[in-house]
Structure 1
Amino acid sequence: MEKVQCVHCGQDWVRRYRRKDSGQVFFMCPECESLWLEEEDLHDETDLYLSEFLLTGDSAKDWEAIELCAGPTP
């Protein structure tokens, strides 16, 4: 797959991640934490961010709740 630059910040590439609790796969920019669900087009804007997606209430723990997926990234 092609690399996709974040349409929000333009500072990093969108990467594939997985929630540790449910195994749900999603795509996210590690720089600004903009997030796309697996079925969404990564070239389109998104209003979803990691903290909203996880609903942990503690942004410091958000990165502990996810892991970078092996395999192709966009």
Structure 2
Amino acid sequence: MEENQINELVHSFITYDYNNLSINTEELDDGKFFSIATIEKNLGKQIFTPNFEAEFKLIKAISHPEIKKI
């Protein structure tokens, strides 16, 4: 492994109900929920990591029709 290489583990989840979700602060220092529209608006603007953006495109390609049409 190169000295300057950054490793990242990405876990992305899709939900249709934000009301009953919370972040377990004992396991995560930081976490956020983004709407599909917010993600789409910020792709390519260095808001998200390249790994997340690649995973998002894959999820969108195979996911529920409501997500595909956005």
Higher strand share: 1
* Alignment TM-score, normalising by the size of structure 1: 0.24
Higher helix share: 2
| Length-normalised TM-score, structure 2 | 0.25
Larger radius of gyration: 2
